[in-house]
Amino acid sequence: MPRWRGCSLGWQTAAFPCLVLCYVLFVVLGGLAFMALEMPVEKRLRAEVGELWRSFLNDNPCVQESKLQHLLGKALSVHHTNVAVLQAEEEERHYDFMSSLYFVIVTLTTMGSDVYYPQSDESKFFCLVYCVIGIPLTLFLLGLLSETLLLPVITHAPIRHLHTFWGLSLSRATLLHASLLSVLVLGLLFLLPALIISAVEPGWSFLDALFFCFVVLSTVGQGGCALGRNWSLNAREALELLTTCKSNYGILIRAVELCQRIVLNPLSFFKSKIYRLEGHPLHELCLEEVPEAPDEELQYSMAICTISSSV
């Protein structure tokens, strides 16, 4: 075995444990960073709530602390499920058709919801069976749509147009298309929705809205954010529908795998310009091993497929 091949195998063997170790360190550093950033906020909120608690008990000595604690704990647990507990909202229902449809869509797309989740044992069992069938079917359908519809329209057709009518080389057309598409996706799927959400949702800054758009499109969840809590029922249903359409469109765009296909083409362009030997790209050459003299300089020979294609 040539020495260069043994070194390559040794490097590949050691690379995977190093990669795993680096990833573990990356995860640990992320946890430490979030702990350092969020712990002061949590301590401040705990101090504020404790001060309000003591002030309320001092101003209302007739209220028993145990009963107040039980009442607030029950109200907070119900509020966490987004169920209306105020008397003015008795006609509002949490699991109407639109809300249930929203839960189904965010579950099938693996985005999840911080507000909607099954409460009864029957619905939990149905959700398990439903997701076992629905999630693979949804991912298959999204992949099929991206391959048959979106990829030719979003990627192939614009690159072909730039290459044919603008006279750009294929690699330069791909690079220009990647840049324009990145700006378009950033504007339409992140910046513009964040501006609209921050304008219509009271108490939300642009950063809050941008964070919400990011976690929704990346299928992380909703980041503990729920749009339209103070809106009317019809307005909130329309907002849930728009949010669902936006998330599905973003997931479908991600399913096209633009990054992999766009990044590899410019890389192959630069590699074909730099690594060429006697007019043939490097990937069309193979190393010829000489068993009798392993210490001699390795020679290049053309691959059989290259020779047959050139003839």
The predicted structure's pLDDT at residue 94: 58
pLDDT top residue among 256 and 154:
154
The predicted structure's pLDDT at residue 34: 78
Give the three-state DSSP class for 121.
helix
pLDDT, tens digit (0-9, with 9 covering 90-100), for 147-167: 777 777 887 888 888 888 888
The answer to whether residue 303 scores a pLDDT higher than 70 is: no
d(CA 212, CA 222) in angstroms, rounded, equals 6
d(CA 145, CA 111) in angstroms, rounded, equals 19
* Least reliable range by pLDDT among 8-17, 45-54, 213-222, 253-262: 253-262
The predicted structure's pLDDT at residue 225: 57
Q: What is the mean pLDDT of residues 201-229?
A: 72
d(CA 235, CA 1) in angstroms, rounded, equals 71
Alpha helices in 60-120 (DSSP H): 65-80, 97-108
Domain 95-274, CATH 1.10.287.70 — does that match?
yes
The predicted structure's pLDDT at residue 182: 83
Q: How far is CA 125 from CA 131, 135, 294, in A?
A: 10, 15, 65
pLDDT, tens digit (0-9, with 9 covering 90-100), for 91-128: 555 566 777 777 787 788 777 766 667 777 888 888 88
Query: Which of 53, 76, 75 has the alpha carbon at shortest distance from 63?
Result: 53
Residue 60 — very low, low, confident or very high, per pLDDT cuts 50/70/90? confident
**Cα end-to-end distance, the chain, whole Å:** 33
Q: Where in the chain is the domain with CATH 1.10.287.70?
A: 95-274
The predicted structure's pLDDT at residue 86: 55
d(CA 302, CA 15) in angstroms, rounded, equals 30
The predicted structure's pLDDT at residue 168: 86
Q: Are 275 and 183 in contact (CB under 8 A)?
A: no
pLDDT, tens digit (0-9, with 9 covering 90-100), for 13-41: 777 788 888 878 988 888 888 788 888 88
The predicted structure's pLDDT at residue 308: 40
CA 298 to chain centre: 46
* Least reliable range by pLDDT among 16-30, 92-106, 184-198, 204-218: 92-106
The answer to whether residue 304 scores a pLDDT higher than 70 is: no
The predicted structure's pLDDT at residue 15: 77
d(CA 158, CA 173) in angstroms, rounded, equals 9
- What is the pTM for the complete model shown? 0.58
Give the three-state DSSP class for 300.
strand
Q: What is the mean pLDDT of residues 164-186?
A: 86
Segment holding 285, helix H or strand E: strand 285-288
Instruction: Please count the other Cβ atoms lying within 10 Å of the Cβ belonging to residue 186.
Output: 11
Q: Are 216 and 246 in contact (CB under 8 A)?
A: yes
Question: In the chain, helix, strand, coil percent, each to 5?
Answer: 75, 5, 25
